[in-house]
Structure 1
Amino acid sequence: MDALIKPLLRLEIFQGLKPLQITEIARQAERIVFREGDIIVHSGAPGDAAYVIVSGEAVCLKRLGANVRAEPIEAGSLIGELAMLVEHDYSITVVAKTPVRALKLAREAMHGQMRDDRHLAEHISGKITARLTRLTAELRTIDSRLASVAEVHIGA
């Protein structure tokens, strides 16, 4: 079980949880093995879970015009985080580059745990709120920089 808990402990969304909470998340997660070439998640497909890569390597396929670029995804990565919390279509395609062992964190199981453990629900809500606050600040900074550039071009 320790080998399954360690990757969860490294994920930002779970940092700060009690060991028992992490253990319960790992216990309820489905263990999955993907073979080389298997699709882990497909862009546009409805997501019902997130996947934690426990071991192995995967690639995120990104289409750039007529080209496809493969970006590496290493062990310890969380794929499809939103799908474990809300109805969400996957926005990327991820393919196993080597055999991959993963934990599937199903939305239904996560919701059940959050119903049973309000501290877990508050923790995850707090992590998402903090992330949205950071993103909002970054967007304001970008907006301000774009406005400054626009003023320079309009004034020129």
Structure 2
Amino acid sequence: MLKSEIELLKSVPLFSGIEPARLKLIAYTSDQVAYRAGQVLCRQGDPGDAAYVLTEGEADVSIATEAGDYVVAHLKTGDVVGEIAILCDVPRTATVTAKTRLSALRIRKDAFLQLVTQLPEIGTEVMRGLAVRLSRTNEELARARNQASEGTPRDKDQ
């Protein structure tokens, strides 16, 4: 099983440049987890105890609002989620729900922090990923604000 996890890690952009010995350590310290469609990986407000690397499937990231849950991102194979709560030592900032059958590597907080501090290339890639997500979230908020100021909901199918 360890060999297949190493192969999965090699295919994830975050870990693609990491030497095989280190990938083996990452695979050894992580847990392979599986979820069915609709199952929650982590819930907004819960403690951040692990990051997840999606190895198969898709998930939605949503935040709770007064008007109900609002999907702010869609994740696919190779994406990493859960690192904000770990890096900032705050509760989960969103809920992640499997959209399809999903497999992931669950990397515990201490192991993830060790990776980021010992391997600068992973830290850089994590920062890049966070910056991209922040940019998308800002665009999404601007769109929502424009829709609210127009007073009419926008139908994506029209």
User: Where on the TM-score scale, by shorter chain, does this alignment land: which range?
Assistant: 0.5 to 0.7
TM-score (norm 2): 0.62
Unaligned runs of 5+ in 1: 139-156
Q: Per-residue displacement from partner, 1:56-111 (whole Å, max 9, x unpaired)?
A: 22111234651533342111111112445563321111111222111110013345
RMSD: 3.2
CA contact (8 A) 1:60 1:94 kept: yes
TM-score (norm 1): 0.63
Task: Provide the C-alpha distance between the structure 2 equivalents of 1:11 and 1:123, rounded to a whole number of angstroms.
Answer: 13
Structure 1 SS opposite 2:61:
strand
Structure 2 SS opposite 1:46:
coil
Match of 1:53 in 2: 54
Q: Per-residue displacement from partner, 1:102-133 (whole Å, max 9, x unpaired)?
A: 1110013345678xxx8x355545656x75xx
Moved more, 48-57 or 63-72: 63-72
Alignment partner of 1:24 is 2:25: yes
Alignment partner of 1:80 is 2:64: no
Given the alignment, which residue of 101, 108, 111 partners 1:109? 111
Match of 2:63 in 1: 62
Task: Provide the C-alpha distance between the structure 1 equivalents of 2:68 and 2:114, rounded to a whole number of angstroms.
Answer: 41
CA contact (8 A) 2:59 2:99 kept: yes
Match of 1:44 in 2: 45
Structure 1 SS opposite 2:21:
helix
Task: Provide the C-alpha distance between the structure 2 equivalents of 1:127 and 1:112, rounded to a whole number of angstroms.
Answer: 15
Cα 1:85–1:19, aligned 2, differ >3 Å: closer, same or farther?
Answer: farther
Structure 2 SS opposite 1:51:
strand
| Superposed counterparts of 1:67-146, under 5 Å | 67-70=68-71, 71-85=73-87, 87-110=89-112, 120-125=118-123, 131=128
Cα 1:111–1:36, aligned 2, differ >3 Å: closer, same or farther?
Answer: same
Identity %: 28
Unaligned runs of 5+ in 2: 136-158
Q: Per-residue displacement from partner, 1:12-70 (whole Å, max 9, x unpaired)?
A: 54343211101210121011112222111111211011011111221112346515333
Task: Provide the C-alpha distance between the structure 2 equivalents of 1:29 and 1:14, rounded to a whole number of angstroms.
Answer: 14
Task: Provide the C-alpha distance between the structure 1 equivalents of 2:85 and 2:27, rounded to a whole number of angstroms.
Answer: 17
Cα 1:15–1:81, aligned 2, differ >3 Å: closer, same or farther?
Answer: farther
Moved more, 82-91 or 33-42: 82-91
Alignment partner of 1:5 is 2:22: no
Cα 1:11–1:85, aligned 2, differ >3 Å: closer, same or farther?
Answer: farther
